[in-house]
């Protein structure tokens, strides 16, 4: 209530003789609404800022391997996030599976191979280069070369058009 009182009634409350206009009341109301909105958003979204997987492994080297692997593996439900960043249940199951495989003593490559056998190459953010994924690795290079070829051709054609058209030079001499 005090914020409302300060923003809306402050000039009269202080004994100020000047009256505030309707526009200033609207501006103050908008400022109040924005402040309350910012507060509400920050208050209700604060729990979302917490860590998704707070479990720490006993061995720091194993914990680092776990973090690295969980950032390399794609959540099959979200498809745009790693399992480390995804809050869905499937990502939690995959994190638990990775943790268990590491605790069993499997290497990083063995964990990747196990998950690739189960979910396919799609689970890896950086799949290995093989016959099935060659297009994935070569497509950006092909598109870049295609774009450079189109740009070179357009620039060459524009240069030829300018050299053929002498009308602008003749008009400027008049």
Average pLDDT over residues 29-48: 73
Side-chain-side CA neighbours of 4 within 13 Å: the count stands at: 1
Task: Round to whole Å and give the CA distance between 5 and 32.
Answer: 11
pLDDT at residue 86, rounded to an integer: 86
Query: Which among 16, 26, 125, 22 has a CA at the least distance from the CA of 69?
Result: 125
pLDDT beyond 80 at 49: no
Query: Which among 108, 121, 109, 73 has a CA at the least distance from the CA of 93?
Result: 73
pLDDT at residue 154, rounded to an integer: 93
pLDDT band at 59 (very low <50, low <70, confident <90, very high): confident
Show the tokens assigned to 87: 């809050």
Least confident window among 8-17, 90-99, 107-116: 8-17
Average pLDDT over residues 21-47: 73
- Sequence-ordered list of residues with C-beta below 8 angstroms from that of 88, at least 6 positions apart, any chain: 75, 77, 78
Least confident window among 16-25, 37-46, 81-90: 16-25
Task: Round to whole Å and give the CA distance between 78 and 93.
Answer: 14
Residue 19 and residue 10 in contact, taking contact as beta carbons nearer than 8 Å = no
Give the CA-trace dihedral at 48, 50, 52, 57, to 10 degrees: -170
pLDDT digits (tens, 9 = 90+) for 119-166: 888 888 887 787 877 887 899 999 999 999 999 999 988 877 776 666
Query: Which among 117, 79, 127, 122 has a CA at the least distance from the CA of 97?
Result: 117
Task: Round to whole Å and give the CA distance between 135 and 106.
Answer: 30
Average pLDDT over residues 66-88: 87
The residue ranking higher by pLDDT, 66 or 52, is: 66
pLDDT at residue 65, rounded to an integer: 92
Q: What percent of the chain is predicted at pLDDT more than 90?
A: 29
Mean of per-residue pLDDT scores for the chain: 79
Residue 70 and residue 52 in contact, taking contact as beta carbons nearer than 8 Å = no
Rg (CA), the chain: 31
């Amino acid at each position: 209530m005090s914020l409302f009182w300060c923003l809306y009634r402050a000039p009269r409350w202080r004994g100020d003789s000047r009256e505030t206009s309707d526009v200033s009341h609207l501006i103050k109301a908008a400022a109040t609404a924005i402040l309350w909105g910012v507060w509400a958003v920050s208050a209700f979204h604060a729990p979302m800022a917490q860590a998704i997987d707070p479990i720490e492994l006993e061995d720091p080297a194993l914990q680092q391997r776990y973090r690295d692997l969980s950032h390399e593996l794609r959540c099959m439900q979200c498809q745009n996030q790693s399992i480390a960043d995804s809050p869905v249940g499937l990502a939690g199951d995959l994190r638990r599976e990775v943790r268990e495989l590491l605790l069993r003593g499997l290497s990083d490559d063995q964990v990747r191979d196990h998950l690739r056998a189960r979910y396919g190459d799609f689970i890896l953010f950086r799949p290995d280069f093989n016959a099935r994924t060659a297009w994935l690795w070569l497509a950006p290079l092909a598109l870049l070369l295609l774009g450079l070829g189109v740009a070179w051709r357009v620039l060459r054609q524009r240069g030829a058009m300018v050299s053929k058209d002498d009308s602008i030079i003749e008009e400027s001499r008049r």
